[in-house]
Structure 1
Amino acid sequence: MASLTDVVKQIASQINAIVYPGGTGQQSIAGIPLRIYPGWPVPNELEADLVAGKAHISIYPHGKDAKTSRYIGRTWVPLTSPVHTVVMTVQGAVVTLSGTISRQNLLINLNGTHYVYAMQLSDTLTSAATALASMIPGATSVGTVIALTGAHSVFARVGGFGSAYMETKRQAQAVMITIWANSPEARDAVASPIDSALSDSNVINFTDGSSGIIHSSGSLMTDQLQKADLYRMDLFYTIDYATTQTQQATEVIAPVLNIVNAQSGQILKTLNP
Structure 2
Amino acid sequence: MAGLAQVSQALAYRCAQLVYPQGLGAASISGRQVVVRRGWLLPNDVFAAQGIRNQVDYLTVTMVPRNAKNLPEPLGRPWAVRKKVAATVSVLQRGAGVQIVFPSDGSEPAGVVGVAVSGGQAAVYAVTATDTPDGVAHALADQLAALGVLNITAENGYLSISDNLLLGRASGYGESVRTVRRQTQRYRLTVWTADTSVREVLGDTIDTALAEMSWLVLADGGQAQIVFAGVEDVDTMQTETLYRRDYFYDIQFDTEDVKWSADLNFIGGHFTQGIDGSWGTKIASIQPEIIENALGAVQRAAAVGGAADVYEGLYIDEFGTVKEK
TM-score by length of 2: 0.67
Q: Deviations over 1:43-99 (max 9, x none)?
A: 552255222111111111113211122446512233543453432111332311132
Q: Measure, in 1, the Cα distance between the counterparts of 2:75 and 2:215.
A: 17
Q: Which runs of 5+ in 1 are unaligned?
A: 257-269
Question: In structure 2, which of residues 92, 95, 104 is the aligned counterpart of residue 92 of structure 1?
Answer: 95
Equivalent residue, structure 1, for 2:63: 61
Q: Measure, in 1, the Cα distance between the counterparts of 2:113 and 2:26.
A: 50
Q: Measure, in 2, the Cα distance between the counterparts of 1:114 and 1:103.
A: 23
8 Å contact 1:171–1:240 — kept in the other structure? yes
Structure 1 residues 139 and 59 mapped into 2: Cα distance closer, same or farther (>3 Å)? same
Structure 1 residues 158 and 80 mapped into 2: Cα distance closer, same or farther (>3 Å)? same
Q: Measure, in 1, the Cα distance between the counterparts of 2:220 and 2:27.
A: 32
Q: Measure, in 2, the Cα distance between the counterparts of 1:212 and 1:141.
A: 53
Q: Measure, in 1, the Cα distance between the counterparts of 2:79 and 2:92.
A: 32
Structure 1 residues 192 and 73 mapped into 2: Cα distance closer, same or farther (>3 Å)? farther
8 Å contact 2:113–2:169 — kept in the other structure? yes
Q: Measure, in 1, the Cα distance between the counterparts of 2:223 and 2:204.
A: 25
Structure 1 residues 205 and 239 mapped into 2: Cα distance closer, same or farther (>3 Å)? same
Instruction: Work out whether 1:130 is the aligned partner of 2:130.
Output: no
Aligned residues: 257
Equivalent residue, structure 1, for 2:31: 31
8 Å contact 1:117–1:131 — kept in the other structure? no
Deviation at 1:149, TM superposition (A): 5.6
* Aligned Cα root-mean-square deviation (Å): 3.2
Q: Measure, in 1, the Cα distance between the counterparts of 2:92 and 2:73.
A: 48
TM-score by length of 1: 0.79
Question: In structure 1, which of residues 106, 110, 116 is the aligned counterpart of residue 113 of structure 2?
Answer: 106
Q: 1:124-273 alignment to 2 at 5 Å?
A: 124-131=135-142, 134=145, 140-143=152-155, 144-147=157-160, 155-255=167-267
8 Å contact 1:180–1:232 — kept in the other structure? yes
Deviation at 1:151, TM superposition (A): 6.8
Q: Measure, in 2, the Cα distance between the counterparts of 1:60 and 1:193.
A: 19
8 Å contact 1:55–1:182 — kept in the other structure? yes
Structure 1 residues 119 and 26 mapped into 2: Cα distance closer, same or farther (>3 Å)? closer
Q: Measure, in 2, the Cα distance between the counterparts of 1:56 and 1:137.
A: 68
Deviation larger for 213-222 or 160-169: 160-169
Q: Percent same amino acid at aligned positions?
A: 22
Deviation larger for 83-92 or 61-70: 83-92
Q: Give the match's secondary structure for 1:81.
A: strand
8 Å contact 2:35–2:56 — kept in the other structure? yes
Q: Measure, in 2, the Cα distance between the counterparts of 1:119 and 1:173.
A: 40
Structure 1 residues 114 and 126 mapped into 2: Cα distance closer, same or farther (>3 Å)? closer
Structure 1 residues 86 and 44 mapped into 2: Cα distance closer, same or farther (>3 Å)? closer
Q: Which has the higher helix share?
A: 2
Instruction: Work out whether 1:76 is the aligned partner of 2:88.
Output: no
8 Å contact 1:182–1:229 — kept in the other structure? yes
8 Å contact 1:46–1:56 — kept in the other structure? no
Q: Which residue type is aligned with residue 74 of structure 1? A: R
Structure 1 residues 139 and 56 mapped into 2: Cα distance closer, same or farther (>3 Å)? same
8 Å contact 1:18–1:194 — kept in the other structure? yes
Deviation at 1:204, TM superposition (A): 2.0
Which of the two has higher C-alpha Rg?
1
Q: Which residue type is aligned with residue 51 of structure 1? A: R
Q: Measure, in 2, the Cα distance between the counterparts of 1:62 and 1:171.
A: 14
Q: Deviations over 1:77-133 (max 9, x none)?
A: 335434534321113323111328977532335669573323576971341353366
Q: Which residue type is aligned with residue 63 of structure 2? A: P
